[in-house]
């Protein structure tokens, strides 16, 4: 059975998120704010163009890109170069490079009928961080 990726997802829990952000150098207050945030993520797909919007009380971040093509993502302290690919009908993968250091990072999105689990990886983090989102539409 095919799973639809587009939709709205409400964050409900984290796993190893403080350890992950600490390993990649996010300051203490930033880590605590991210750990406490519970964003609503909305994903839309129009042909090969995808938009991922994440909105919380603290901020709203929106990235629109063509699948398989490089784009820039504005992070709190830098811009990173990313490529997002559709791996199959229920998985997305974003591979990023931090220009200042050349470090590689990634986000793996696994979709089911009920949720999306995002696994965050970075070459400086021994343990990946995970964010869990429930499908809300």
User: pLDDT digits over 16-72, tens only?
Assistant: 988 888 888 888 888 888 778 889 999 999 999 999 999 988 788 899 999 999 999
pLDDT in tens, 68-99: 999 998 876 778 999 999 999 999 999 999 88
The CATH homologous superfamily of the domain defined by 7-135:
Calycin beta-barrel core domain (2.40.128.20)
Would you say 35 and 14 are in contact if contact means Cβ atoms under 8 Å apart?
yes
- For 121, other C-beta atoms within 10 Å of its C-beta total 17
Parse the chain into domains and list their residue ranges: 7-135
Provide DSSP, 11-37: EEEEESHHHHHHHTT--HHHHHHHHH-
């Amino acid at each position: 059975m095919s799973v639809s990726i587009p939709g709205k997802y409400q964050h409900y829990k984290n796993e190893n998120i403080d350890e992950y952000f600490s390993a990649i150098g996010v300051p203490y207050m930033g880590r605590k704010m991210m750990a406490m945030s519970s964003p609503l993520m909305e994903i839309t797909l129009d042909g090969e163009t995808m938009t991922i919007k994440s909105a919380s009380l603290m901020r709203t971040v929106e990235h629109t890109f063509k699948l398989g093509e490089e784009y820039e993502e504005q992070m709190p302290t830098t811009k990173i170069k990313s490529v997002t690919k559709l791996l199959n009908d229920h998985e997305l993968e974003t591979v990023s490079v931090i220009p200042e250091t050349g470090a590689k990072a990634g986000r793996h999105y696994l979709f089911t009928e009920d949720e999306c689990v995002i696994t965050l990886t970075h070459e400086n983090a021994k343990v990946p961080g995970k964010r869990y989102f429930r499908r809300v539409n």
